[in-house]
């Protein structure tokens, strides 16, 4: 029994990590229908930004978010305004190709700048501290922090989209860019803002990834797949759905691993496939799409 | 294209015959002076395997300096050119650049290092194109058997020096023998070339461990870049494992070890291949890396010196630290040794363009390199020469954040041990 509870708990916590990886991706897709292949590499870029901040100023990795979030926001804004806006509105292929190229450029630029050494951010004893819940049951504080952050980040994004002026504008350009433009909404600026917010979210994913385990310039693309699956399981454009998608993926993987570690990824992919078969638009799709 | 007038074009040569030849020698003065030895070198300088090649530039600069006067062949001296190519950690790319080196650059001798993903495709290209090749930094079984090698026949053009699976098994079990445990072992074998070889029921760890009275818990193969080891940890806990072994990539080791400590799993010995090769990985573990153990192929305290520069292992490592401000890593010795073999082979050959004599010289190699004696013929198969392997633990509080201390040298007593095995506290 403890084993089963442990499996579900660990899977849920893992899901928080996946949801955090996926939240930025989900937002970008929801607002401008852009599939960002470079998302995983942007997570790694955020990790390196945090690494640099920690090296230069000596602050602890969590506080480095004060620096990383604004830096990534600016990078996101500039990236969208200067490059990605030009790829939109010409079909699905140009943004795919450009972000794919971006992925390769980021990897190689990081390799040049930081070498291939495997890095990690240190958070001290907190990394391995845990809350004992029973003889064979414990929840790590750090995974719990990741999960809580995922919930808070998604709640904040949801509030941004539905309770603020800029959020209304995001939804307007997303629903109908032409009409929104007639009302004086500058979609180029808005898309750039959305990418900025998405990369601010990516900063959290990057910093937590960097504390959780080693990272190197080439590790990004592997993080992309789970983020995609979480977004699609949850339903395109739905932020709470992305959290649910991450948790479903995490639990499916942990249950699979319990049966045999070889089944860990397979179980996640099967859960993904089942959702695609029975709910092709995901579990919580947006009403109009 | 500016120099076009100096070079002979095809029609001109055909028309003017001898005059054209004279013109050619004007255009390429090097030809008149003699031949040039070309060494090709392929390694993974970018991509996930790049840490293995991190020291390449330092090592190759040193080699270029050592051979800048050229190599004496017969009565003349032939200059040496080293052409370096990046495999990008991709086997297909490795084969491609090897083909370029063979067909375009016409290298006399191919050198290749680091992991079967790099060595195997390059060696296959050399075998097909009949170019002599020396390879290293991959356990010999995946190098030999994965390329379809048959022990009684062997390969014709490709030679390899490193250690094998039998050595790492011996080293690990020797280390565990020094610590009092319940002999219950948890295995972390991923679903990749190394993991499958180590976990193999016939040729890997399981049969040897069983013979020596260890009980192995192997929950099964997992994918690399795993985010969650809770299944393995609960299986190890259930088996009361006091030893953990395996061959994983650095991020997986960190994820596993942090998660194990969160879940209160505290083994006495953790001996892991591959992940613990590089000191940066240990630094990433904070204080939790103390006394983790790994296989050791080369350290500055190995009692060997370079046949090429005369530098001892320690001098070579210190040179790297002085030049790069980084801690030494194990590939430094082996990449240097690869070029030691190359220079020694070329000295004994008839020089550039004489592939048959170069191949013959490779087969007859017998040198004392900075990684130990290298000579083909006495190895497990014809094309493999074995170098010594010992075991060590990473400890805090030395010259660097973590220092690799040799704690078991039963497999190679000539390499001095720096301490005894300690249980993880």
Residues forming beta bridges with residue B295, ordered by sequence position: B391
Q: Cβ separation of A261 and B89 shorter than 8 Å?
A: no
Distance CA A258, CA A6 (A): 10
**Over the stretch A189-224, which tens digit does the pLDDT of each residue have?**
999 999 999 999 999 999 999 999 889 898 898 888
User: Is pLDDT of B15 > 50?
Assistant: no
Distance from CA of A231 to the nearest CA of B (A): 18
CB B127 within 8 A of CB B158: yes
- Kindly report the pTM of this predicted structure: 0.85
Q: What is the pLDDT of residue B253?
A: 93
The residue written with tokens 């959702």 in the block is A275
The secondary element (H helix, E strand) that includes residue B271 is: strand B269-274
If pLDDT is split at 50, 70 and 90, which confidence band does B71 have?
Answer: very high
Percentage, residues of chain B above pLDDT 70 = 92
Instruction: Kindly state whether residue A130 falls inside one of the protein's structural domains.
Output: no
CB B330 within 8 A of CB B137: no
User: Is pLDDT of B7 > 70?
Assistant: no
CB B330 within 8 A of CB B276: no
If pLDDT is split at 50, 70 and 90, which confidence band does B203 have?
Answer: confident
Mutation pick from A264, A265, A268 vs chain B, by most beta carbons of B within 10 Å, is A264
Q: Hey, is the C-beta of B300 within 8 angstroms of any chain A C-beta?
A: no
Average pLDDT over residues B221-243: 93
Instruction: Provide the H-helix boundaries in B157-244.
Output: 165-177, 193-198, 205-211, 230-238
What would the two tokens of residue B239 be? 């088996």
Q: Cβ separation of B258 and A212 shorter than 8 Å?
A: yes
Distance from first CA to last CA of chain A, Å, rounded? Answer: 43
Closest C-alpha to B335, from B119, B158, B178, B112: B112
Q: What is the pLDDT of residue B353?
A: 92
Distance CA B32, CA B1 (A): 23
Option in A117, A130, A262 nearest B221 (CB): A262
Name the DSSP letter for residue A215: B
Q: Cβ separation of B278 and A118 shorter than 8 Å?
A: yes
Distance CA B199, CA B191 (A): 10
In our burial notation (b when 16+ CB lie closer than 10 A, e otherwise), range B17-55 reads eeebeebbeeeeeeeeeebbbbbbbbbbbbbbbbbbbbb
Distance CA B320, CA B334 (A): 14
Closest C-alpha to B315, from B266, B354, B370, B356: B370
Whole-number mean pLDDT of chain B? 90
**Over the stretch B129-180, which tens digit does the pLDDT of each residue have?**
999 999 999 999 989 998 999 999 999 999 999 999 999 999 999 999 999 9
Q: Cβ separation of A119 and B280 shorter than 8 Å?
A: yes
If pLDDT is split at 50, 70 and 90, which confidence band does B357 have?
Answer: very high
User: Is pLDDT of B389 > 90?
Assistant: yes
Q: Cβ separation of B230 and A115 shorter than 8 Å?
A: no
Distance from CA of B117 to the nearest CA of A (A): 16
User: Is pLDDT of B403 > 70?
Assistant: yes
Instruction: Kindly state whether residue A87 falls inside one of the protein's structural domains.
Output: yes
Residue of B nearest to A138 (CA): B263
User: Is pLDDT of B17 > 80?
Assistant: no
Q: What is the pLDDT of residue A135?
A: 78
Q: What is the pLDDT of residue B327?
A: 94
Residue of B nearest to A133 (CA): B263
Residues of B in contact with A220 (CB under 8 A): none
User: Is pLDDT of A42 > 90?
Assistant: yes
Distance CA B74, CA B78 (A): 10
If pLDDT is split at 50, 70 and 90, which confidence band does B8 have?
Answer: very low
CB B104 within 8 A of CB B92: no
Q: What is the pLDDT of residue B21?
A: 46
Q: Cβ separation of A253 and B228 shorter than 8 Å?
A: yes
Q: What is the pLDDT of residue B177?
A: 95
CB A268 within 8 A of CB A18: no
Q: Cβ separation of B230 and A127 shorter than 8 Å?
A: no
Range of the domain at A195: 2-120+140-278
DSSP A115-152: -S--B----GGGGT-EEEEETTEEEEHHHHHHHHHHHH
Residue of B nearest to A6 (CA): B230
Q: What is the pLDDT of residue A236?
A: 82
Option in A215, A222, A254 nearest B231 (CB): A254
Going by DSSP bridges, is the β-strand pair B366-369/B372-375 parallel, antiparallel, or unpaired? antiparallel
Option in A116, A119, A140 nearest B284 (CB): A119
Option in A3, A6, A116 nearest B50 (CB): A116
CB B369 within 8 A of CB B307: yes
Q: What is the pLDDT of residue B293?
A: 97
User: Is pLDDT of B345 > 80?
Assistant: yes
Q: What is the pLDDT of residue A124?
A: 86
User: Is pLDDT of A289 > 80?
Assistant: no
Option in B45, B51, B53 nearest A118 (CB): B51
Fold of the CATH domain B34-163+300-386: Rossmann fold (3.40.50)
Residue A5 CB contacts under 8 Å (≥ 6 apart), including other chains: A137
User: Is pLDDT of B2 > 50?
Assistant: no
Distance from CA of B343 to the nearest CA of A (A): 29
Residues of B in contact with A6 (CB under 8 A): 230, 234
Distance CA B407, CA B394 (A): 10
Instruction: Kindly state whether residue A187 falls inside one of the protein's structural domains.
Output: yes
Residue of B nearest to A12 (CA): B228
Tell me the CATH number at A109: 1.10.3470
Instruction: Kindly state whether residue A287 falls inside one of the protein's structural domains.
Output: no
Q: Cβ separation of A136 and B234 shorter than 8 Å?
A: yes
User: Is pLDDT of A273 > 60?
Assistant: yes
Contacts 24+ apart (CB under 8 A), A62-67: A62/A123, A62/A207, A62/A211, A64/A121, A64/A207, A65/A203, A65/A204, A65/A207
If pLDDT is split at 50, 70 and 90, which confidence band does B193 have?
Answer: confident
Average pLDDT over residues B268-292: 92
**Over the stretch B308-336, which tens digit does the pLDDT of each residue have?**
999 999 999 999 999 999 999 999 999 99
Residue extent(s) of CATH 3.40.50.2300 domains in chain B: 34-163+300-386, 166-295+390-408
Residues of A in contact with B58 (CB under 8 A): none
Q: What is the pLDDT of residue B26?
A: 46
Q: What is the pLDDT of residue B9?
A: 54
Q: Hey, is the C-beta of B178 within 8 angstroms of any chain A C-beta?
A: no
Q: What is the pLDDT of residue B12?
A: 47
The residue written with tokens 């690399």 in the block is B224
Q: Cβ separation of A265 and B231 shorter than 8 Å?
A: no
What's the Rg (C-alpha) of chain B?
A: 24
Q: Cβ separation of B51 and A142 shorter than 8 Å?
A: no
Whole-number mean pLDDT of chain A? 91
Residue of B nearest to A131 (CA): B262
**Over the stretch B93-137, which tens digit does the pLDDT of each residue have?**
999 999 999 999 999 999 999 999 899 999 999 999 999 999 999
Residues of B in contact with A118 (CB under 8 A): 51, 250-251, 278, 280-281, 284
In our burial notation (b when 16+ CB lie closer than 10 A, e otherwise), range B216-247 reads bbbbbbbbebbbbbbbbbbbbbebebbbbbbb
Residue A36's CB is within 10 A of a number of other CB atoms, namely 29
User: Is pLDDT of A150 > 80?
Assistant: yes
Q: Cβ separation of A130 and B263 shorter than 8 Å?
A: yes
Distance CA B363, CA B38 (A): 19
Closest C-alpha to A166, from A204, A192, A134, A129: A192
CATH class given for the domain over B166-295+390-408: alpha beta
Option in A118, A212, A219 nearest B255 (CB): A212
Residue of B nearest to A251 (CA): B228
The residue written with tokens 């991923």 in the block is B190
Distance from CA of B43 to the nearest CA of A (A): 13
Distance CA B42, CA A44 (A): 27
Percentage, residues of chain A above pLDDT 90 = 68
Instruction: Kindly state whether residue A129 falls inside one of the protein's structural domains.
Output: no
Q: What is the pLDDT of residue B33?
A: 53
Number of domains forming the structure of chain A:
1
Residue A161's CB is within 10 A of a number of other CB atoms, namely 21
Distance CA B375, CA B93 (A): 30
Q: What is the pLDDT of residue A134?
A: 81
Option in A14, A130, A138 nearest B228 (CB): A14
The residue written with tokens 């395996």 in the block is B246
ipTM: 0.88
Q: Hey, is the C-beta of B266 within 8 angstroms of any chain A C-beta?
A: no
Residues of A in contact with B53 (CB under 8 A): 116
Q: Hey, is the C-beta of B234 within 8 angstroms of any chain A C-beta?
A: yes
CB A89 within 8 A of CB A75: no
Residue of B nearest to A111 (CA): B46
If pLDDT is split at 50, 70 and 90, which confidence band does A287 have?
Answer: low
Q: What is the pLDDT of residue B224?
A: 87
Residue B247 CB contacts under 8 Å (≥ 6 apart), including other chains: B188, B189, B190, B194, B195, B198, B272, B273, B274, B275
If pLDDT is split at 50, 70 and 90, which confidence band does B385 have?
Answer: very high
């Amino acid at each position: 029994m403890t084993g089963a509870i442990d499996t579900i708990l660990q899977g849920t916590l893992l899901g928080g990590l996946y949801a955090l990886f996926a939240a930025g991706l989900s937002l970008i897709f929801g607002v401008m229908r852009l599939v960002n292949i470079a998302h995983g590499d942007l997570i790694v870029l955020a990790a390196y930004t945090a690494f640099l901040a920690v090296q230069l100023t000596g602050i602890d990795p969590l506080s480095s978010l004060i620096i990383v979030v604004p830096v990534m926001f600016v990078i996101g804004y500039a990236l969208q305004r200067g490059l990605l806006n030009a790829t939109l509105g010409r079909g699905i292929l140009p943004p795919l190709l450009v972000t794919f190229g971006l992925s390769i450029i980021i990897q190689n630029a990081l390799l040049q700048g930081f070498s291939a050494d495997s890095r990690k951010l240190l958070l001290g004893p907190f990394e391995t501290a845990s809350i004992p819940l029973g003889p064979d049951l414990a929840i790590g504080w750090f995974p719990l922090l990741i999960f809580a952050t995922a919930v808070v980040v998604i709640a904040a994004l949801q509030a941004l989209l539905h309770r603020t002026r800029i959020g209304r504008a995001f939804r307007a350009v997303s629903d109908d860019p032409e009409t929104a433009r007639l009302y004086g909404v500058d979609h180029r600026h808005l898309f750039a803002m959305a990418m900025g917010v998405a990369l601010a979210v990516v900063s959290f994913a990057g910093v937590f990834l960097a504390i959780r385990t080693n990272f190197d310039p080439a590790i990004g693309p592997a993080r992309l797949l789970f983020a995609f699956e979480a977004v699609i399981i949850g339903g395109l454009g739905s932020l709470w759905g992305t959290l649910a998608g991450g948790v479903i993926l995490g639990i499916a993987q942990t249950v699979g691993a319990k049966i045999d570690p070889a089944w860990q990824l397979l179980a996640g992919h099967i859960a993904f496939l089942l959702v695609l078969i029975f709910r092709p638009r995901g579990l919580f799709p947006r009403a109009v799409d | 294209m500016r120099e076009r007038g100096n070079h002979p074009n095809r029609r001109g040569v055909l028309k003017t015959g001898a005059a054209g030849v004279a013109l050619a020698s004007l255009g390429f003065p090097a030809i008149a002076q003699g031949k040039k030895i070309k060494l090709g070198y392929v390694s993974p300088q970018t991509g996930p395997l790049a840490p293995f090649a991190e020291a390449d530039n330092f090592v190759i600069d040193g080699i270029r300096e050592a051979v800048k006067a050229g190599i004496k062949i017969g009565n003349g001296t032939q200059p040496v050119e080293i052409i370096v190519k990046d495999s990008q950690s991709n086997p297909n790319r490795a084969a491609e650049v090897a083909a370029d080196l063979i067909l375009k650059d016409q290298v006399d001798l191919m050198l290749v290092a680091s992991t079967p993903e790099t060595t195997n495709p390059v060696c296959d290209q050399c075998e097909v194109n009949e170019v002599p090749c020396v390879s290293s930094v991959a356990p010999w079984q995946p190098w030999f058997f994965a390329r379809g090698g048959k022990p009684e026949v062997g390969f014709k053009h490709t030679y390899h020096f490193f250690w094998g699976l039998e050595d790492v098994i011996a080293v690990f079990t020797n280390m565990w023998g020094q610590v009092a445990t319940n002999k219950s072992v948890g295995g972390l074998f991923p679903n990749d070339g190394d993991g499958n070889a180590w976990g193999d029921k016939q040729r890997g760890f399981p049969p040897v461990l069983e013979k020596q009275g260890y009980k192995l818990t192997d929950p099964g193969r997992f994918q690399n870049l795993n985010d969650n080891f809770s299944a393995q940890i609960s299986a190890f806990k259930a088996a009361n494992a006091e030893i953990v072994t395996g061959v994983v990539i650095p991020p997986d080791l960190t994820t596993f070890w942090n998660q194990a400590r969160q879940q209160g799993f505290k083994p006495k010995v953790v001996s892991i291949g591959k992940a613990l090769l590089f000191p940066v990985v240990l630094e990433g573990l904070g204080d939790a890396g103390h006394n983790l153990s790994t296989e050791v192929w080369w350290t500055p305290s190995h009692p060997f010196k370079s046949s090429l520069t005369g530098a001892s292992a320690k001098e070579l490592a210190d040179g790297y630290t002085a030049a790069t401000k980084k801690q030494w890593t194990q590939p430094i010795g082996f990449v240097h040794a690869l070029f030691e073999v190359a220079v020694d082979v070329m000295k004994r050959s008839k020089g550039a363009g004489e592939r048959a004599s170069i191949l013959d010289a490779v087969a007859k190699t017998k040198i004392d390199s900075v990684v130990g004696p290298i000579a083909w013929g006495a190895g497990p198969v014809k094309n493999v020469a074995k170098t010594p392997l010992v075991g060590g633990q990473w400890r805090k509080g030395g010259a660097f954040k973590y220092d690799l201390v040799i704690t078991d040298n039963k497999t190679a007593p000539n390499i001095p041990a720096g301490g005894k095995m300690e249980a993880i506290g």
